[in-house]
Amino acid sequence: MKTVRSLCFRSLLLLIVVLPFFSCSHQGQDADTASLYDEAARFYRLKKYSDALDRYDRALAADTLNGFSQKALDALCRKSRIEFLTGRYAGAFRTWDAIRRHGGKNLPDSLHTAVALDTGKMYAELGMYGQAASVMASLRNPDAWQLFDEARFLFRAGKIIEALRIYTKLSVSDDNAIKISGLSGILDCALTGRVTGLDTPDNLAGKIAMISGRVMKMNTSPEVKIKALRIAARSLQQMEKQRPNASYLLFRALAIAQEAGYPRLVAILQYESNNLIVRKPDTYRSVIEYFGQRNMPFAKVAALFMLGRSVELTPAERIEAYRLGLAACQHYGIPATATDYVTLEREAAGELCDLLAAERRYIELFDASAMADYLEHRRLVYAGISGFRLPPGHEAVQNEIIELTRDISGLLQRKINMLEEGTGFALASVVDQAIREKQGRLIELIVEASKVDSTVPERLQPRLLTLRTLQKSLRSDEALIRFLVRDSLSTSMLVSSRELQIVTAKVTKEQVRARFTALRQRLASASPNLEAILAADDDRRWLSGTLLQSMGDRLSDYRHIIFVSRNAEPFHLLGRGPMLGSDHQVSWLFSADELLLYAAVKSQGDIVFFDASNPEKAAIYKLFHPEDQLFLSWKPMQENEDAGLKQLLKKASESGASSSDILKKAVQHSGPIGAQAWLWLGPYGAK
């Protein structure tokens, strides 16, 4: 008993001694944490965002050791805002997850909504529309416009039925701005052709036109009326016969913006309304000047491209407009997520090539096609950066390169969203500063990564290809052929170390596409006499004569022929006599600048097959796995056929030969499993 009392006394004495020290330590920690939070808030006010984030991270690391207090949750929300402003996407998503896991329900609705809206926007900026919609769905009391954004994200994610449910709910609103936006969403769904039981597009367009008058008379802010009219106009202009109505709505929105004194919206609406029907060059010129003065580069690019389409201008004036637009893209870059702008850029590059070909300005034609390749290459980097890998042990550099590239792409999309939504221009300078900082850091990291992988700079930051550089890179027995197939003119370009030859044909894109479609259908057949059938095929002969023309006579001088085209077609089947693939090595590339990138890479990786209908997917894969050997397939393969051919190709690759050599060797020793494989398999690469 005496021993027990002694132990109790000693324990009590220990507590009396230790507790004051523990209390002082804890109070000191609280004081340090509070000081860090204060510093973070001060740096935020000074717009020193990196310093503010550093203090928040340090404070939260100490403050959350024993759980998340309300104070810590509030700090996470402030941290999230900084991550949004500076385009730290991965950090913002981690912060959102932390808020959800650790008591986000305790946040006031206004604070939760603010964080959710920022996070949803960031997911959408990266093209992750499903995740964006999921975040929007977490709002506790969403207003009608927030529901509209959720539906818009669902629609872009391909979840048409889910989007339709929200649009339908909005379409019966008593608020005419909401009502017209909901009807416009339903029209978008109807035009996909993927939903049955909807009102016809014509009837929906009629309802939108009827309600538009009520929107203009609403007693609400000019911003709301302009937003609703622009949403309606975008839906209507998808229907050719509704373009006059869409144009009218945009002109009405323009009048509202002029009366309210919104100069940026006035310029944007002048551009948009001019696009649909009128297309006056003077209007484009005036907004181009304004956009240039107001740091709106993507709007300026779009207006330059539309000026290039003005048929009343001389060819020289149109060429100059297109050149200026593409040069601006070279500096800013249109991310893959901005699909409408990507389409506009591609069409502008194609039309510029048409004009240069018609004027017989062939060196400039090559330069224009090289610029198009450069822009596509950069977009492939943005789209596929998650697949970037460095050798083991360099994960930190690798992951930071991935995050920075993704951040830059998202911030570029944010600048485009400002134009499409007509809001957020006050944050443009913050976005620009964030992009500059990230690009500077990215350059440093790429230099570091090049020490372990010398191909990294050319893969992640390509250079503009010149004709001289390409010709010096081609061996004497190699020729590169590029097809530029447009609406009314098809141009074929042959480049080798000793010549540049260009031929044109006045055939439409539809004619060429129809012939290739028929050829692919025959190619995909399982006929045992496929080679003989294709040799006598009329479509093959027509394509050979139309696209190659006099070029066909030159090809016998070359052992290896490399085709460059955005669309993967079975070019190896062309040829006036034997099919090119029967007596030449033939390969395919998405862009000409890839030739320099892959020519020096030793092929020692996996054998990978890609469906030829998705060449961009193959291009992205090759960019981030240059050592793998890719083959495009023009016919579906059974599992045993796929595995058997891969085994044959892998065995043939042990000699270290090029992909086109490997295919020939595999076919020679394949037996019945793939004796005709060279007909429906095409090597992707420079060898």
Give which of 364, 380, 565, 399 is closest to 458, Cα–Cα. Answer: 380
Cβ–Cβ < 8 Å for 459, 626 = yes
Instruction: Check whether residue 515 and residue 619 sit in a common domain.
Output: yes
What pLDDT score does 21 carry? 35
Across all residues in the chain, what is the average pLDDT?
A: 90
Residue 345 lies in a domain: yes
Look at residue 88 and tell me whether its pLDDT is greater than 90.
yes
Taking CA atoms, 352 is separated from 282, 371, 415, in Å, by 20, 11, 26
Instruction: Check whether residue 353 and residue 479 sit in a common domain.
Output: no
Rounded to an integer, the average pLDDT of 203-216 is 97
Instruction: Check whether residue 433 and residue 513 sit in a common domain.
Output: no
Instruction: Check whether residue 642 and residue 504 sit in a common domain.
Output: yes
Q: How far apart are CA 664 and CA 670, in angstroms?
A: 10
Rounded to an integer, the average pLDDT of 573-581 is 90
DSSP code per residue over 161-210: HHHHHHHHHHTT-SSHHHHHHHHHHHHHHHHTT--SSPPPHHHHHHHHHH
Instruction: Check whether residue 494 and residue 620 sit in a common domain.
Output: yes
Residue 71 lies in a domain: no
Residue of 29 and 544 predicted with greater confidence? 544
Cβ–Cβ < 8 Å for 589, 595 = yes
Residue 567 lies in a domain: yes
Torsion (CA) 135, 139, 145, 149 in degrees, nearest 10: 10
Q: How far apart are CA 276 and CA 306, in angstroms?
A: 11
The sign one gets for the Cα dihedral 197, 199, 201, 204 is negative
Using only the alpha carbons of the chain, give its radius of gyration.
30
pTM of the model: 0.91
Residue 442 lies in a domain: yes
Cβ–Cβ < 8 Å for 288, 304 = yes
DSSP label at 588? E
Residue 313 lies in a domain: yes
Residue 68 lies in a domain: no
Look at residue 518 and tell me whether its pLDDT is greater than 70.
yes
Range of the domain at 329: 279-464
Instruction: Check whether residue 407 and residue 484 sit in a common domain.
Output: no
Look at residue 20 and tell me whether its pLDDT is greater than 70.
no
Name the domain boundary from 464, 486, 506. Answer: 464
Cβ–Cβ < 8 Å for 319, 355 = yes
- 227-269 pLDDT, tens digit per residue, is 999 999 999 999 999 999 999 999 999 999 999 999 999 999 9
What pLDDT score does 687 carry? 73
With tokens 């085994």, the residue in question is 647
Instruction: Check whether residue 379 and residue 446 sit in a common domain.
Output: yes
What pLDDT score does 7 carry? 38
Instruction: Check whether residue 458 and residue 487 sit in a common domain.
Output: no
Instruction: Check whether residue 322 and residue 377 sit in a common domain.
Output: yes
Rounded to an integer, the average pLDDT of 124-131 is 98
Instruction: Check whether residue 656 and residue 525 sit in a common domain.
Output: yes
Domain tally for the chain?
Answer: 2
Instruction: Check whether residue 585 and residue 653 sit in a common domain.
Output: yes
What pLDDT score does 666 carry? 64
What pLDDT score does 599 carry? 82
Q: Which amino acid is it at 75?
A: A
Residue 488 lies in a domain: yes
Instruction: Check whether residue 646 and residue 511 sit in a common domain.
Output: yes
Three-state DSSP class for residue 280:
coil
What pLDDT score does 658 carry? 67
Q: How far apart are CA 681 and CA 668, in angstroms?
A: 14
Q: How far apart are CA 409 and CA 333, in angstroms?
A: 9
What pLDDT score does 6 carry? 47
What pLDDT score does 657 carry? 65
What pLDDT score does 671 carry? 57
What pLDDT score does 668 carry? 60
For the chain, what's the residue count? 687
Rounded to an integer, the average pLDDT of 280-287 is 96
Name the domain boundary from 442, 464, 486. Answer: 464
- 586-622 pLDDT, tens digit per residue, is 999 999 999 998 887 877 778 899 999 999 999 999 9
Residue 399 lies in a domain: yes
Q: Which range has the worst mean pLDDT, 98-107, 167-176, 531-540, 565-574? A: 98-107
What pLDDT score does 426 carry? 92
- 396-411 pLDDT, tens digit per residue, is 999 999 999 999 999 9
Name the domain boundary from 421, 438, 464. Answer: 464
pLDDT-based confidence at 31, cuts 50/70/90?
low
